A and B are shown apart, each in its own frame.
Chain A
Amino acid sequence: MNSMTKPRAWESFFWPAVAAGLLLAVWHYSVVWTGTKVFPSPLSVEKAVAELLQRHVLWADIGDSLRRVAFGFGAAVVVGVPLGLWLGWRPAANQVVNPVLQILRPISPIAWIPVAIIFFGVGDRAAIFLIFLGSFFPIVVACVSGVSSVPPVMRSAGRNFGLSTPQLLMRVVFPAALPQILVGVRIALGIAWLVVVAAEMIAVDSGLGYLVIDSRNSGKRYDLVVAAMLMIGIIGLALDLSFRRLERIKSVRWGFRNAA
């Protein structure tokens, strides 16, 4: 929606640059004018980024965070998608199970930390469990919703061609629900990325989240703090964009035609 003329191609680079420049300027001058000794200026953050990139530890931290996401999120997909599909297919089952999910869902994964530590001890596995918890619910919800919004006509058509129930699920219901499932999975990936950082700030001692809290605790290196935050933002964005590419695959693209 716009109330002006259609923007030209160069403008898609120009305006973001203007906004970024504005932000940097405001940032820089606030640091200068308030005379703060602690909060980093854009320049010091830039140097901190360079410092991080040179440190091998950064890559290890990024690797740790991504690895935990891979396991936790992967487990959520492996468990959540079949469960969600089944609940969507059998509304009676959904009606029974759904209340339990609705009660568990608003409990922040972080609140599960004490329980997680009892089961898994302090460390990776607890973090992976938390990520699993965070990703699980959006995936199940999206699968249920995707399956129940498959037009009945398509199910009838599938039956008409003689498909048994497992075949119907595989060849009609799943492909029809896939666009919605993918959206839910992508959102769950975003949540996983948020949870891993939070978990690393509390329950483990490696990873980008840990880098944020550690930079502050051991030396008040706020330039490193901000640099780490930037990395978190950029990698999170990269994850989201890569996943969106999946949504362009031809056999799924039909479901996104009218998506915002």
Chain B
Amino acid sequence: MSSTEAVVTEPRAGQKLRVEHLGLVYERDGESIAALEDINLDVSEGEFICIVGPSGCGKSTLLNVLAGFLPSTSGSVTIDGESVNGPDPRRILVFQERGVFPWLTVEGNIGFGLSKLPRAQRDERIAHYVQTVRLEGFEHTYPSDLSGGMKQRLQVARALAVNPDILYLDEPFGALDSITRVMMRGELLRIWQSERRTIIFVTHDIDEAVQLADRVVVLSSRPARIEDIITIDIQHPRNISSPRYLELRDELLKQIGLAYEV
């Protein structure tokens, strides 16, 4: 497992993340349970991918395997040709809750992965990302004094500060109220557009997926298989009342098997 500091990499065209015949089977009470089955996915550099699916289908499990926190039982995950063996600063996962370190200030959190850098460079990066996520003025604040949305922004800043190749987000806005969620989506898009990271974003919220993603991966319920991959071909900024938006949204809802009349 690499313990090196992430170094700024040259952006590569084409293949970024490649998942081939990925499967995960685990034992519980003597029984084998398949969580993931034959997942195949190709993600390009700078793409924004959303993964959606019914509750409990294994979206987070898939993300954890892609991030290297869980080993797969079959198939492979490669990033830039290198196979994923464990957690690595080149692919940071943003968690839904409790991801920030409460004993460190905003600055301390953002600088967490930067300990190998010389002081001046480190301070500069921290300042840059404080600005990126719009937490100026809170550099010396502790997370217990931040709102939920601010804490998530802090996590994103901390993740970006180490210049990862891929950013994984596991329902990052799930614990926030709906108004904050809408604002955070805008923030994330803004950051993504300026930095052009590859992002893989798990959510159970269909609207969120259609608003954010270039492509949406739909998973079936357990064992999770890829039902479909839908391309969202609307330009940003997306009008959420436009016919095309509603069409894509309906299609997704159908895929997941939900009625769209309450």
Q: So, do A and B actually touch in the complex, CB under 8 Å?
A: yes
Chain A residues close to B by CB (< 8 Å): 151, 153-154, 156-157, 159-164, 167, 171-172, 175-176, 178, 250-255, 257
B102 within 8 A of A: yes
Main secondary structure of the interface of A (DSSP, over half): helix
Which residues on A sit within 8 Å (CB–CB) of B86?
159
Query: B161 to chain A: closest CB distance in Å?
Result: 10
In order of increasing CB-CB distance, the 6 nearest A-B pairs are A161-B113, A254-B102, A159-B87, A175-B103, A162-B89, A251-B103
Ordered by A's residue number, 11 sampled pairs between the chains whose C-beta atoms are within 8 Å are A156-B69, A160-B88, A161-B162, A162-B4, A171-B112, A175-B101, A176-B102, A178-B103, A254-B143, A254-B144, A255-B102
Closest partner residue, chain A, to B155 (CB atom): A157
Which residues on A sit within 8 Å (CB–CB) of B143?
254
Known: A162-B3, A257-B144. 4 other contacts (CB 8 A): A160-B89, A175-B104, A176-B103, A178-B103
Complex Cα spacing A178 to B98, Å: 17
Closest partner residue, chain A, to B108 (CB atom): A251
Interface string of B79-122 (1 = CB under 8 A from A): 00000001111001101011101111000000011000000000
Complex Cα spacing A252 to B6, Å: 29
Complex Cα spacing A253 to B144, Å: 9
Which residues on B sit within 8 Å (CB–CB) of A171?
112
A161 and B95 in contact, given A178-B103, A254-B143 (Cβ under 8 angstroms): no
Complex Cα spacing A249 to B115, Å: 23
Query: A204 to chain B: closest CB distance in Å?
Result: 41
A161 and B112 in contact, given A153-B95, A156-B69 (Cβ under 8 angstroms): yes
Query: B108 to chain A: closest CB distance in Å?
Result: 9
B142 within 8 A of A: yes
Which residues on A sit within 8 Å (CB–CB) of B67?
160
Is A254's CB under 8 angstroms from B93's CB?
no
Select one of B97, B103, B142 contacting A153, CB under 8 A: B97
A-B contact count (CB 8 A): 66
Complex Cα spacing A176 to B105, Å: 14
B207 within 8 A of A: no
B38 within 8 A of A: no
Complex Cα spacing A252 to B144, Å: 11
Which residues on A sit within 8 Å (CB–CB) of B4?
162
Which residues on B sit within 8 Å (CB–CB) of A251?
103-104
A161 and B69 in contact, given A151-B98, A254-B144 (Cβ under 8 angstroms): no
Is B142's CB under 8 angstroms from A162's CB?
no
Interface string of B1-40 (1 = CB under 8 A from A): 1111110000000000000000000000000000000000
Closest partner residue, chain A, to B161 (CB atom): A161
Select one of A160, A162, A167, A176 contacting B93, CB under 8 A: A160
Which residues on B sit within 8 Å (CB–CB) of A167?
3
Query: B188 to chain A: closest CB distance in Å?
Result: 19
Complex Cα spacing A39 to B136, Å: 67
Which residues on B sit within 8 Å (CB–CB) of A151?
98
Which residues on B sit within 8 Å (CB–CB) of A157?
93, 95, 99, 101
Query: B102 to chain A: closest CB distance in Å?
Result: 4
Complex Cα spacing A176 to B113, Å: 17
Is B103's CB under 8 angstroms from A252's CB?
yes
Complex Cα spacing A159 to B64, Å: 13
Is B3's CB under 8 angstroms from A254's CB?
no
Query: B202 to chain A: closest CB distance in Å?
Result: 15
Which residues on A sit within 8 Å (CB–CB) of B104?
175, 251
Select one of A153, A156, A163, A178 contacting B3, CB under 8 A: A163
Is B144's CB under 8 angstroms from A172's CB?
no
Complex Cα spacing A224 to B262, Å: 82
Interface string of B54-93 (1 = CB under 8 A from A): 0000000000000101000000000000000011110011
Complex Cα spacing A176 to B104, Å: 10
Query: A171 to chain B: closest CB distance in Å?
Result: 8
Complex Cα spacing A49 to B108, Å: 51
Query: A160 to chain B: closest CB distance in Å?
Result: 5
Q: Which of B167-187 contact A (CB under 8 A)?
A: none
Complex Cα spacing A242 to B1, Å: 44
Is B103's CB under 8 angstroms from A162's CB?
no
Query: A80 to chain B: closest CB distance in Å?
Result: 22
Complex Cα spacing A82 to B104, Å: 23
Query: A164 to chain B: closest CB distance in Å?
Result: 5
Pick the most buried of A156, A164, A176, A250: most chain B CB atoms within 10 A of its CB. A156
Query: B93 to chain A: closest CB distance in Å?
Result: 6
